[in-house]
Amino acid sequence: MSGEIGLRRATLDDILFLVELANHEDVAPYLAAVSARDPEAFRAELEAAEGAPDERGRYVIEHDGARAGTVAFEVVNRRSRIAQLYGLMLDPRVRGRGIARDATRAFARHLFDELGFHRIELECYGFNERAIRHFEACGFVREGVKRRAYRREEGWVDGVLYGLLADELP
């Protein structure tokens, strides 16, 4: 069992934690090139979310009361109630305990039940086998592959697309 999992909106007091996590050598290679990585970028993201909390937000994942990771969302289609999940990062020191699985499911439930979304979408790099296993284990359905869509240091890489509908959450 993973212990008690909590989710709360990130605050300015979390910026140092977010920066350290995003720049960790076991996390950074898997983040999108446009991901926030410095204090100014995280501050801008949090301030934008404060002004539109139903349209975007960064959350801190807590495990037994301590910061363990983060996840974020943004509306991609308001009329059809579609949110994009992104920026899921878990502190490597707490991996293997089911924290990410429980937090992802709780976050999806929050997006569906409390914020009223109908569908959650996400994309991860094709080389990110851990994320692929994770999202499939959480009930996300692989909907496609954007072949060689992103330029990375080693060349072009695929983007794997996933979706989850409100009535599909395990």
The answer to whether residues 157 and 149 touch, using CB atoms and an 8 Å cutoff, is: yes
Please report the pLDDT score of residue 123 as a whole number: 98
Please report the pLDDT score of residue 102 as a whole number: 97
Which of 78, 24, 14 lies closest to 45, judged by CA? 14
Please report the pLDDT score of residue 82 as a whole number: 98
Please report the pLDDT score of residue 154 as a whole number: 77
Please report the pLDDT score of residue 1 as a whole number: 47
Please report the pLDDT score of residue 66 as a whole number: 97
Kindly give the parts of the chain with pLDDT less than 70: 1-2
Where do the domains of the chain lie, and which CATH numbers do they carry?
5-168 (3.40.630.30)
What single letter denotes the amino acid at residue 96?
Answer: G
Tens of pLDDT, residues 1-50: 468 999 999 999 999 999 999 999 999 999 998 999 999 999 999 999 99
